């Protein structure tokens, strides 16, 4: 998009572009999302930025009406396989907060200077500024939804000091942390300790873009749910998905509701350590594919003769990811029944079980003597983290005994969130690029609707059986 096209999107308050770019008004010093309901500023007073961090770095503060820091992320970061896309996925997962820019650069295989230069050239902000914007957003959520003391929120959000936290909040929101909390609908209960505040969980609205076919996502999660770590309860249309999470600083339990209450999914996250909030949110967003651009996907696939009717029937169909890439890879290779047995035998018991959720899926090191893939994940010869190179990861997977090509493709699509994994036995699938993973979801949904059973592309067991039959032939 050129700047004139962006300005037309602002004039029309087009929510399709929320998160794709931001605009700032030089006369007010405020930056907004394209759909901001405020009076449209004059063109000569408008500047455009590819990221909220770039607008903040230029000295603009967030609009209080449209909350531009709460928009869905750009779909580019999931689609792109270059260093910028990989870096953005890793920043979202909290790598900069935990390991610094040096750690980010090492994971990407570049120098810190190269990473800084590439991000700044394309986004107008480096990794520190991008991580800082994410910390500020996390802090705003905690200030507005929990009883955590403000000092605890500063460190839970990833800030190195209370002073840095205060300065950042003032700069971005033109409010003190206490003032921001007072303006929000924060729960009452002054003086609550950290443990008390976390017991209630953190209520969230996980923003999404465009139509969202909720039923298909929750149907898939219900079919895949493993006892003791996942469950889907309730009637269709009002179901709740709950699962346990292994996080960098502790553990968590997340609950996400299916009901359609607006352009978001309602969620609640219980954490043993509040520093894990941004990482937990990022992983839920990947699981539910909330940063996708359904307009671009549906426009492309809807123009294809083989898919047009399917797209019209299920607008906004998503390609779900995984909350824990290593876990998804291991359960894919092991199969559903064997994965449940692994939880019984090797799963880690939660300190405080919650209903039927009582365990964490075993870490790769616990299964290293039993599954070759677990050993490869544990020693680092296979990497499936947020910034992993997808081609390298797939090639590494194919060298592991017991991992078939169909397994590797499914892991690439789900665990690595690749939106463009080839659809087996579909000679016309090149025309579906760069959204072949979504095409596979449409074909699976149509097959289930027609036959009431899994499509050969859907389950990991079917993938392995299909590939074995082809090898035998």
Average pLDDT per block of 10 residues along the chain, 473 residues long = 94 92 96 95 96 94 91 82 91 93 94 95 94 93 88 90 94 92 65 54 91 96 97 97 97 97 93 92 96 95 96 97 98 96 96 94 97 98 94 97 96 96 87 95 89 55 44 39
The pLDDT of residue 183 is 84
Bridge partners, 367 (sequence order): none
C-beta of residue 142 within 8 angstroms of C-beta of residue 201: no
The pLDDT of residue 464 is 47
d(CA 145, CA 142): 5
Helix axes 405-414, 325-334, angle to 10 degrees: 150
**Number of C-beta neighbours around residue 113 at 10 A:** 10
In CATH terms, the superfamily for domain 85-196 is Homeodomain-like (1.10.10.60)
pLDDT in tens, 374-423: 999 999 999 999 889 999 999 999 999 999 999 999 999 999 999 999 99
The pLDDT of residue 455 is 54
Bridge partners, 61 (sequence order): 30
> Could you say which DSSP state residue 352 is in?
E
Residues in CB range of 352: below 8 A, 6 or more apart: none
3-state secondary structure of 316: coil
Q: Alpha carbon of 373 to those of 183, 224, 319, 376: distances in Å? A: 50, 20, 24, 5
Q: Alpha carbon of 393 to those of 81, 285, 319, 397: distances in Å? A: 12, 22, 19, 6
Enter the tokens of residue 261.
Answer: 């209450």
E strands, 167-238, in order: 202-207, 230-233
The pLDDT of residue 179 is 92
Which of 273, 359, 326, 289 has the alpha carbon at shortest distance from 98?
Answer: 273
Known catalytic membership, residue 430: yes
Which of 375, 320, 377, 366 has the alpha carbon at shortest distance from 343?
Answer: 366
Q: Which of 337, 344, 391, 430 is catalytic?
A: 430
Does the domain at 3-70 match CATH 3.20.10.10? Answer given as no
Enter the tokens of residue 295.
Answer: 């307009």
CATH number assigned to the domain covering 202-472: 3.30.310.20
**Pair type for strands 61-62 and 30-32:** parallel
**Pair type for strands 264-271 and 202-207:** antiparallel
H helices of 124-189, where? 127-145, 150-156, 162-173, 177-183
The pLDDT of residue 404 is 96
Kind and range of the H or E element at 272?
A: none
Strand order in the sheet with 240-246: 202-207, 264-271, 251-257, 240-246, 230-233
Q: Alpha carbon of 387 to those of 64, 86, 259: distances in Å? A: 32, 4, 32
Domain residue limits, the chain: 3-70, 85-196, 202-472
The pLDDT of residue 461 is 43
d(CA 204, CA 188): 17
Enter the tokens of residue 77.
Answer: 């970061």
- Tell me whether the omega of the peptide bond preceding residue 159 falls within 30 degrees of 0, making it cis: no
Q: Which of 18, 32, 276, 324 is catalytic?
A: 32
């Amino acid at each position: 998009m050129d700047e004139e096209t962006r300005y037309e999107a602002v004039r029309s308050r087009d929510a399709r572009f929320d998160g794709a770019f931001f605009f700032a008004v030089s006369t007010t010093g405020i930056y907004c999302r394209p759909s901001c309901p405020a009076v449209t500023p004059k063109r000569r007073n408008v500047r455009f930025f590819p990221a909220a961090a770039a607008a903040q770095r230029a000295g603009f503060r967030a609009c209080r009406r449209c909350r531009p820091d709460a928009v869905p992320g750009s779909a580019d970061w999931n689609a792109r396989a270059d260093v910028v896309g990989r870096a953005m996925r890793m920043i979202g997962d909290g790598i900069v907060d935990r390991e610094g820019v040096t750690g980010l650069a090492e994971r990407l295989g570049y120098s810190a200077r190269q990473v800084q230069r590439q991000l700044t050239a394309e986004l107008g902000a480096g990794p520190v500024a991008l991580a800082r914007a994410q910390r500020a957003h996390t802090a705003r959520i905690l200030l507005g939804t929990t009883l955590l003391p403000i000092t605890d929120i500063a460190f839970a959000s990833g800030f190195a000091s209370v002073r840095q936290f205060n300065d950042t909040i003032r700069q971005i929101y033109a409010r003190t942390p206490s003032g921001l909390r007072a303006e929000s609908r924060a729960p009452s209960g002054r003086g609550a300790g950290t443990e008390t505040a976390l017991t209630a969980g953190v209520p969230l609205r996980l923003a999404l873009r465009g139509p969202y076919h909720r039923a298909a996502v929750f149907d898939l999660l219900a079919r895949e749910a493993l006892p003791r770590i996942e469950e889907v309860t309730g009637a269709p249309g009002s179901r709740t998905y709950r699962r346990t999470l292994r996080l960098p600083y502790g553990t968590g339990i997340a609950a996400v509701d299916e009901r359609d209450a607006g352009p978001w999914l309602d969620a609640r996250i219980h954490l043993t350590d509040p520093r894990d909030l941004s990482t937990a949110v990022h992983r839920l967003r990947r699981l539910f594919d909330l940063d996708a651009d359904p307009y671009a996907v549906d426009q492309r696939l809807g123009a294809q003769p083989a898919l047009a009717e399917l797209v019209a029937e299920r607008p906004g169909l998503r390609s779900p990811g995984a909350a824990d890439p290593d876990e998804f890879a291991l359960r894919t290779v092991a199969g559903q029944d064997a994965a449940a047995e692994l939880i019984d035998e090797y799963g880690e018991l939660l300190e405080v079980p919650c209903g039927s959720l009582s365990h964490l899926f075993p870490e790769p090191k616990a299964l290293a003597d039993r599954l070759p893939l677990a050993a490869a994940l544990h020693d680092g010869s296979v990497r499936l983290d947020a910034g992993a190179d997808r081609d390298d990861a797939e090639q590494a997977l194919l060298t592991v005994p017991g991992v078939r090509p169909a397994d590797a493709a499914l892991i690439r699509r789900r665990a690595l969130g690749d939106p463009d994994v080839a659809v087996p036995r579909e000679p016309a699938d090149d025309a579906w690029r760069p959204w072949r993973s979504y095409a596979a979801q449409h074909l699976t949904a149509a097959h289930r609707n027609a036959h009431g059973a899994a499509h050969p592309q859907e389950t990991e067991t079917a993938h392995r059986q299909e590939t074995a039959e082809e090898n035998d032939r």
